[in-house]
A and B are shown apart, each in its own frame.
Chain A
Amino acid sequence: MMATEIALPTDAACGQAAVASRDSAADMALVRACRGGDQAAFTKLVEIHEGLVFNLAVRLLGDGEEARDVSQEVFLQLHRSLPRFEGRSSLRTWIYRIVVNHCRNRQRWWRRRRRDKACALDDISRADEAQLAVRSAGSEDPFAQVARHEREERVRRALDRLSFDHRTILMLKEVEGLSCEEVGEALQLAVGTVKSRLSRAREALRVSLGPWPPEGGRP
């Protein structure tokens, strides 16, 4: 029955909130150290967050080199504006906001030069993906590996066909696991706007993806 599958807040979710709170406290400690001129603390901050920054950037821009470049810009911007960080939102949310703004600017820059088509998401080759993805595929059945690559390729293409705003909100909500309030803070939108945009983005993804799971495949 469909109705029995409705997800309600669980103990696991509460546990995640506790972890997020602990991370936030650790981030604030690092931010304070950075403000005091501790370069090692900033290096630690980069090492902690570079994964989420790069993952979001590469999914929004679809190009590994561009995403790496943008990630550097994000941390430079973070370093410059740390003295202005007041801690009203979490550092993670603040970083997401910087990433999204940089990616949007970068995409506009490319569109002005008519190259937005050239850096579509599907330009990440399988070789890139294999190098970038964190996984141990050594023990995987080769057929299963090919099937998984094909499924991921379809999802990437479907994501690429969405607008930048829809891609962003889906990445923040579904992949990064932010709440609607946090997404609203990151994108500087009202919560109601986030919910309605999320609803449209999910529907757009469903249409873009087509029948899922693919015929004869596993999700």
Chain B
Amino acid sequence: MTCHDVRRRLSPLMDADLALGEMRTVQEHLRECPSCAAELASLRASVEALRSLPRLKLKDSLAVEVRHRIEVESRGPGLALLFRPAWMARPLIFPSLVPAALVLVSILAAVAALDRDPTQVVEHAVAPPAYLAPSGTETNPLFPSEDVSSPQVLTRGDLDGVAWADLPEGSLFVETVVARDGTVSDVTLLQGDSVMARQIMASLRREQFEPGRRRGRPVAVSIYRLISHMEVRASATT
């Protein structure tokens, strides 16, 4: 029997769990092999060390606690537990609803902000820049096109009251913004004599129009006009 065979049998040998013949063979090997004998001694010493560990004991008996828990288990849930309020049954349900409510409020606020009527924008105390105002309003008028009808004059300005005779000859190029209610919201001189323009533009601001429309809704429209003044004299005849 080799050392390997003997070492495999050391544990059964400790329990006297070997056949008689096998046990004798192992014993003979151990007498002659100090290495295997030392291993058996080491094995026994390890087991003895384990057995020498002190036996641990509870400071207080478990009997009272166990009996109490058995009583609690045998009692069942009880009426107080069965009919407890919902918030006691699920104490975390309300705290968990807070973030959900915040998200909902944020969404509703965003929807309300995006769903405002664009016409209310012009009613702000401080008008937004023209490039931010909705198109079709007085600060950002449209121009006549296929979609936008041109404003039609209802009441002309009092051009007859202008003292034409005192004005020099020339042309004015003006931009008129016709508001959604048909009034003239703005008149701008683009080119021409300012002395001549002063009287004429005051007259143009008093004009009334049928407003331009886009898809049936009145919109502010900008129109450009060229107004010329020239004296016409009869040619001299001889």
| A contact set with B: CB distance below 8 Å | 1-3, 5-9, 39, 42-43, 46-47, 50-51, 54-55, 58-59, 64, 68, 71-72, 75-76, 79, 129, 131-135, 151-152, 155-156, 158-159, 170, 174-175, 180, 195, 198-199, 202-203, 205-206, 209, 211-213, 219
Contacts and interface: CB of A to CB of B under 8 A. Distances in A.
Tell me if A's interface is mostly helix, strand, loop or mixed: helix
For B27, B50, B65, which residue has the most chain A Cβ atoms within 10 angstroms?
Answer: B50
Interface of B: 8, 10-17, 23, 26-28, 30-31, 37, 39-59, 61-63, 65-67, 69-70, 73
A144 B28 CA distance: 38
Given A132-B56, A133-B56, A134-B54, A75 B66 contact: yes
A76 B71 CA distance: 11
A39 B62 CA distance: 14
Given A72-B66, A202-B11, 12 more contacts: A2-B27, A39-B67, A43-B63, A50-B63, A54-B56, A55-B57, A76-B69, A133-B54, A170-B50, A195-B15, A195-B17, A206-B43
Nearest to B37: A2
Contacts of B30: 2-3
Contact of B63 (A47, A134, A213): A47
Contacts of A199: 8, 10-12
For A46, A152, A180, which residue has the most chain B Cβ atoms within 10 angstroms?
Answer: A46
Contact of A79 (B55, B57, B66): B66
A129 B67 contact: no
Which 10 interchain pairs have the tightest Cβ spacing? A3-B27, A199-B11, A133-B54, A132-B56, A206-B46, A46-B63, A75-B66, A2-B30, A2-B37, A212-B45
A212 B67 CA distance: 44
A5 to B, nearest CB: 8
A60 to B, nearest CB: 12
B62 A219 contact: no
B40 to A, nearest CB: 6
Given A76-B70, A132-B56, A8 B16 contact: yes
B55 A51 contact: yes
A92 B14 CA distance: 24
B63 A54 contact: no
B46 A205 contact: yes
B41 to A, nearest CB: 7
A51 B61 CA distance: 9
A159 B65 contact: no
Nearest to A179: B15
Contacts of B46: 158, 202, 205-206, 209, 212
A71 B59 CA distance: 13
24 contacts: A1-B31, A2-B41, A3-B28, A6-B27, A58-B56, A64-B56, A75-B66, A131-B59, A132-B56, A132-B57, A132-B58, A134-B56, A134-B57, A152-B53, A155-B50, A155-B53, A158-B46, A159-B50, A180-B15, A195-B12, A199-B10, A199-B11, A202-B43, A206-B43
Nearest to A46: B63
B11 A68 contact: no
Contacts of A5: 44
A80 B40 CA distance: 45
A7 B16 contact: yes
Contacts of B17: 180, 195
A6 B62 contact: no
B57 A75 contact: no
A68 B60 CA distance: 10
B70 A174 contact: no
A51 B51 contact: no
A39 to B, nearest CB: 7
B58 A54 contact: yes
A54 B53 contact: no
A72 B65 contact: yes
Nearest to B27: A3
A175 B54 contact: no
A67 to B, nearest CB: 8
A50 B27 CA distance: 42
Contacts of B10: 199
